[in-house]
A and B are shown apart, each in its own frame.
Chain A
Amino acid sequence: MEQNLSLESMQKETRRRNRKQAFKIFFGRGVIVKLCTAVLVLFIVFSLFGPFLLHIDPNKQNLVNKLAKPTATHILGTDYLGRDVLARIISGGRVSLFVSILAGTFAAIVGICLGLIAGYVGGYLSKFIMAITDVVLSIPGLVFTLMIAAIMGSGVLSLTIAIGIGMIPTYIRMANGLVLSLKQNDYVVASSLVGQKQRKILFKHLLPNTFPSLIVLYTINLGNAIMTEASLSYLGVGINPPTATWGNMVSDAYAYLYLAPRLAIVPGICIIVLIISFNIVGDGLRDALDPRLRGKL
């Protein structure tokens, strides 16, 4: 009993040290990772609390004051219907973040479950899941998402589901591959020899070990989700006007490029900064969570 206790405390100690080291590697990668983390936090804070800071209705039109240059009341000017650009950027950011985080999480949950099942159970079920994955992966991603979006109809929720469904296959592939390689490990074989229940092996040994790679995929996929959302709303599929998203702001501004190019540039820069931040934080996480790099710092 006593030995057990000390083993447990040792495990806890190791876990604590690993977490500390991962943290150190993540933030030790130089100023860029710190900056991108700060940007992400800032974007999230702004999209959560922005409407409380800025009391302008993003959909209020004022045709007299259209395409206005930046002033004190309209910090980023107004668009072709006289709507405040800053307010639309903030509310568009809310939509983009909401859609991408929800779509990414939905895809992660469904994809990881299916991938685990396909990898661990095997047999016809596994073959079926992987065949569908192969089929979906050979249809170019944006085309598949466009089709799903058309089937789901327009609206924020159906766009979210469409983007989510489009990302599921990448999770299935990754989780499946990870489980197939982890299954060969001695500790899995040992625990099934000892007579451990299959379900317990799956959830206690396999699932936690797939997490580091899957978290990285999750972060990078959030960036991809923003890119897909922006592209779809640029193409006019998905969210209906007057709801602002960064993609449809750029699309609306395209007709007024000559008069007011900033209408396209401002939301465009927001999209790029957000995606790059997600990518770089994902890369940082990869380095931090890779056990092979541990102990090098």
Chain B
Amino acid sequence: MSRYIIKKILMAIGLIILISFFTFMLMQLLPGDPARIALGEAASEEKIQTYRNSYGLNDPVLVQYCHWITRILFHLDFGKSVLNARDVSAYISQRLPNSISIGLPGLVYGVLIGLFVGILSAIKRGSWVDQVLTVIVNFFLGCPRFLIAIFGVIFLGLKLKLIPLQGYTAPWVNFGEYSRKAFWPVVVNAIYTVAILARQTRSNMLEVISQDYIRTARAYGLPEKKIIFKYTLKNALIPVITIIGLQMRNIVAGAVIIENVFNIPGIGQLLLNGIQQRDYFIVQACVLVISAMTVFCNLFVDIAYGFIDPRVRRTMR
């Protein structure tokens, strides 16, 4: 087991290094020159060359990459913003908590409600409850997030005046204000997770219910509650854990859009602005941080698998 965990951790670290290299190389393809962006169109050629030399932009790409990655690994220094020379790590440590305060509750509520909806519609399969839930789930699977967000603002905000239109207050500043303003962004974040998890849980439950050992349990005359919760659910939830790990990606993609709609100063907003303003170091740092979080989530899920499923544990040795 511990060998398996170590192997997985090493693989995750390797993947993150690959991602950092890949992102760095991609950013080299971006049209435009960071020096030109930092100093403005009117800057003289001489000034630009001094800037390029001082930031090491004239070095070969591989050397630049090595400098960048060693600074991150040993000093947690992501470089400086091209536009205003502020530390990128300062930006990220300021913005990331805001994103997490919207994304994490979204993930948690999404998983809980998604499991509940999936189990409910599997137990009541074929009934009107199941049909209504399936229609709702399919509807939300086809809804882009920004539309759910905006339709909510139109109907709940403008018409019913239940939610504020946009804005954000951090929970550690004023929790009441936070819960009022973050309510709809968190719901929007959760909805997609609910839809995906509900669908997956339902189909897994139905697959397990048709297994022989469930039929045997029924033949023994076990109470239905015990069959569902002890034998079906436990086995049906195992593949669902993978889906939960993958939801991290959705939450991040959601962050880019939701932070834009509601004007929340998070890492998604930072990344989008960075891309629009060609702020290389910000984009590289954001993509690296986001991907590292995704990879570690999946690592956690992989390890959790071993603890939950005895069948996986056996193959791990």
Interface residues of A (CB under 8 A from B): 131-132, 134-136, 138-143, 146-148, 150-151, 153, 223, 227, 230-231, 234-237, 250, 254, 257-258, 261, 264-265, 268, 271-272, 275-276, 278-280
> B26 at the A/B interface (Cβ < 8 Å)?
yes
**18 residue pairs from A and B, CB less than 8 Å apart:** A138-B294, A138-B298, A139-B19, A139-B290, A139-B291, A146-B272, A147-B283, A151-B26, A227-B142, A230-B147, A234-B144, A235-B272, A237-B275, A268-B147, A272-B144, A276-B141, A276-B142, A279-B141
**What is the minimal beta-carbon distance from A253 to any residue of chain B, in angstroms?**
8
Chain B hits for A279, CB < 8 A: 138, 141-142
Q: Which of B19, B27, B142, B275 is in CB contact (< 8 Å) with A272? A: B142
Given contacts A146-B272, A261-B154, A268-B147, contact A140 B30 (CB under 8 A): no
Interfacial chain A residues near B18, Cβ < 8 Å: 131, 134-135
- Point out the residues of chain B lying under 8 angstroms from A138, CB to CB: 15, 19, 291, 294-295, 298
CA distance in complex: A227, B145 (Å): 9
Contacts of A276 in B (CB 8 A): 138-139, 141-142
Segment 4-31 of B: residues with Cβ below 8 Å from A: 15, 18-19, 22-23, 26-27, 29-31
- 1/0 contact trace for B115-139 toward A, CB 8 Å? 0000000000000000000000011
A235, B260: Cβ atoms under 8 Å? Answer: yes
Q: Which residues of B contact A (CB under 8 A)?
A: 15, 18-19, 22-23, 26-27, 29-31, 138-139, 141-147, 150-151, 153-154, 158, 165, 249-250, 252-253, 256-257, 260-261, 271-272, 275-276, 278, 283, 286-287, 290-291, 294-295, 298
Docked pose: A268 CA to B152 CA in angstroms: 12
A272-B31 contact given A139-B19, A257-B153, A280-B138, CB 8 Å threshold: no
A275 contacts B144, C-beta separation under 8 Å: yes
Residue of A nearest to B18 (CB): A135
Given known A-B contacts A135-B19, A258-B158, A264-B154, A140 and B142 have beta carbons under 8 A apart: no
In contact, A227 and B138 (Cβ under 8 angstroms): no
B290 contacts A254, CB within 8 Å? no
Q: Which residues from A are CB-within-8-Å of B298?
A: 138
Residues from chain A with Cβ under 8 Å of B141 in the complex: 276, 279
Question: Is B150 in contact with A140, judged by CB distance below 8 angstroms?
Answer: no
Contact of A230 among B144, B249, B261, B271 (CB under 8 A): B144
B124 to A: closest C-beta gap in Å: 19
CA distance A76 to B253 in the complex (A): 32
Contacting pair A143 B252 (CB below 8 A): yes
Measured between alpha carbons, how far is A131 from B18 in the docked complex, in Å? 9
- Known interface pairs A139-B291, A140-B290, A265-B154. Does A250 touch B146 (Cβ–Cβ under 8 Å)? yes
A136 to chain B, nearest CB (A): 8
By a CB distance below 8 angstroms, the chain B residues around A264 are 150-151, 154
Q: How far is the CB of B200 from chain A (nearest CB, A)?
A: 14
CB-based nearest A residue for B254? A142
Nearest chain-A residue to B253 (Cβ)? Answer: A142
Task: Establish whether residues A153 and B257, one from each chain, have CB atoms under 8 Å apart when the complex forms.
Answer: no
Residue of A at shortest CB range from B251? Answer: A140
Bound complex: CA A257 to CA B158 (Å):
8
The docked-state distance in angstroms from the alpha carbon of A264 to that of B150 is 8
**Nearest CB of chain B from residue A50's CB, rounded to whole Å:** 22
Q: A272-B142, A278-B142, A279-B141 are in contact. List 17 more A-B contacts (CB 8 A).
A: A135-B22, A136-B22, A140-B249, A142-B257, A146-B256, A147-B26, A151-B26, A151-B29, A151-B30, A231-B145, A237-B276, A250-B147, A258-B158, A272-B144, A275-B143, A276-B139, A276-B142
On whether the beta carbons of B256 and A227 are closer than 8 Å, the reply is: no
User: Are the CB atoms of B291 and A146 closer together than 8 Å?
Assistant: no
B27: which A residues are within 8 A, CB to CB? 147
Q: What separation, in Å, do the CA atoms of A225 and B18 have in the docked complex?
A: 27
Q: Is the beta-carbon distance between B295 and A271 smaller than 8 angstroms?
A: no
Query: Chain B residues with Cβ under 8 A from A236's Cβ?
Result: 276
Measured in the bound complex, the distance between the Cα atoms of B29 and A18 in whole Å is: 49
In angstroms, Cα B150 to Cα A231, docked, is 12
**Smallest CB separation, A290 vs chain B (Å):** 14
The CA-CA distance from A146 to B19 in the complex, in Å, is 16
Docked pose: A134 CA to B165 CA in angstroms: 39
Contact A234:B146 (CB < 8 A) given known A143-B271, A257-B158, A264-B154: yes
Bound state CA distance, A134 and B291, in angstroms? 12
Nearest B residue to A229 via CB reads B144
Q: Which residues of B contact A134 (CB under 8 A)?
A: 15, 18
Nearest Cβ in chain A — how far from B4, in angstroms? 19
Min CB gap B233→A, angstroms: 25
A140 near B253: Cβ-Cβ < 8 Å: yes
Bound state CA distance, A234 and B15, in angstroms?
31
Q: Report whether B147 and A143 are in contact in the complex, using a CB–CB cutoff of 8 Å.
A: no
The answer on a CB contact under 8 Å between B283 and A231 is no
| Chain A residues in 8 Å Cβ range of B26 | 147-148, 151
Q: Find chain B residues with CB under 8 A from A146 CB.
A: 256, 271-272, 275
Determine whether the beta carbon of A147 is less than 8 Å from that of B275.
yes
Residues of A within 8 A of B138 (CB): 276, 279-280
Which of chain B's residues have a CB closer than 8 A to the CB of A227?
142, 144
Bound-state CA distance A180–B15 (Å) is 23
Closest to B284 in A: A147
Q: What chain A residues lie within 8 Å of B283 (beta carbons)?
A: 147
Distance of B243 from chain A, by nearest CB (Å): 15
In the complex, residue of chain A having the shortest beta-carbon distance to the beta carbon of B32: A150
Cα A138 to Cα B288 in complex, Å, equals 10
Task: With CB as the reference atom, state the residue of chain B lying closest to A139.
Answer: B291
Q: Are the CB atoms of B143 and A272 closer together than 8 Å?
A: yes
**Cβ-defined partner of A141 (8 Å) among B30, B154, B249, B276:** B249
